[in-house]
Amino acid sequence: MSEYVQLSYFDIALASVFLLLSGVVALWLQLGITRNLAFATVRMVVQLLLVGLLLKSLFAIQSPWLTLLVALFMAGFAAREIWARQERRLKGWRGLAMGGGAMGASVGVVALMALALIVQPDPWWHPRFALPLLGMIMGNAMTGVSLSLDTLHTALNREQRAIEAQLLLGANKWQAMRPFIRQAMRAGFMPSINAMAAIGLVSLPGMMTGQILSGVDPNEAVKYQLMVMFLIAGATGMAVILATLGSANALTDARDRLRLDRLRKSPK
């Protein structure tokens, strides 16, 4: 069977019943998340509906420049999300550039390689292939980078005296910060590690499930999912390493002094 089951808007509304029930229970228990849950739900619906309309138009137009423009917009929004998810963040332009630059560079290289050498659509930049692939890789890299930077900045602020004591005893900045850099990198890698460990046994990922529901042979769906998971894990790992090392370097100076004055606390 190759036909997929079409869903009506009533079906979508029916699928949201248990989310609404969860919101009601959260309100009754005074968890303080009802407003955030409602906002996130409305935002998700609006964003996905707009994306559906946008992608339909892009698929019809097939312009490389419009595809590039959308990709740059996605990267800019992801950079802003990385910046916003940190409790303590770098001041000024570095706050956006450090995480966003590391994520953009790694995701860009990985996505270009996948399109040009693995998937090979014609043309290679076709929005039907480029944008969904880029979105999956970028979303996961964004999570990894934001976790690593938040962990690093929080740890350096918490252990400031211990780090400065090691610097006074003759350690260089990398030696003094090494445990916290490792801790931050582990935090950034962990979502990818957990996803790879659980996939197939605990969870069937969205892309694979969607392909199977649309009638694709399960073996082909598995191949595509393996490719995507390798790309996601590779791009996330590179982004986490670049962002963590870059941020650690930005929080010190040429004289190996810790410069936490370059951090500011999030107003949230």
- For the chain, the structural domain boundaries read 1-61, 64-265
What is the average pLDDT across 53-68? 90
The CB density around residue 76, as the number of other CB atoms within 10 Å, is: 13
Residue 202 DSSP symbol? T
- The interaxial angle of helices 127-158 and 64-84, nearest 10 deg, is 20
Q: Which of 123, 151, 146, 140 is nearest to 192 (CA)?
A: 140
Q: What pLDDT was estimated at residue 1?
A: 45
Q: How does residue 103 score in pLDDT terms, banded at 50, 70 and 90?
A: very high
222: amino acid identity, one letter: V
What is the average pLDDT across 110-130? 91
d(CA 57, CA 46) in angstroms, rounded, equals 17
Q: Which of 55, 39, 44 is nearest to 12 (CA)?
A: 44
Q: What pLDDT was estimated at residue 141?
A: 94
Which carries the bigger pLDDT value, residue 32 or residue 213? Answer: 32
The CB density around residue 240, as the number of other CB atoms within 10 Å, is: 31
66 Cα distance to chain centroid: 23
Produce one character per residue of 177-211: b if its CB has 16 or more CB atoms within 10 Å, e if not.
beebbebbbebbbbbbeebeeeeeeeeebebbeeb
d(CA 157, CA 99) in angstroms, rounded, equals 18
Q: Is the pLDDT of residue 4 over 70?
A: no
The CB density around residue 65, as the number of other CB atoms within 10 Å, is: 9
Q: In the chain, count H helices and then E strands.
A: 10, 2
Residue 205 phi/psi, 5° resolution? -65, 160
What is the average pLDDT across 235-261? 91
- The interaxial angle of helices 17-28 and 34-61, nearest 10 deg, is 150
SS3 call for 7: coil
Are the beta carbons of 253 and 259 closer than 8 angstroms? yes
Sort 139 into a burial class: Cβ within 10 Å, 0-12 / 13-18 / 19+: middle
Tens of pLDDT, residue by residue over 200-244, are 766 666 777 777 777 778 888 888 888 988 999 999 999 999 999
* 188 Cβ contact list (under 8 Å, min separation 6): 144, 145, 147, 148, 151, 236, 239, 240, 243, 244
d(CA 77, CA 73) in angstroms, rounded, equals 6
The CB density around residue 68, as the number of other CB atoms within 10 Å, is: 13
100 Cα distance to chain centroid: 10
Tens of pLDDT, residue by residue over 148-201, are 999 999 999 999 899 989 989 888 999 999 999 999 999 999 999 988 888 776
Q: Is the pLDDT of residue 2 over 60?
A: no
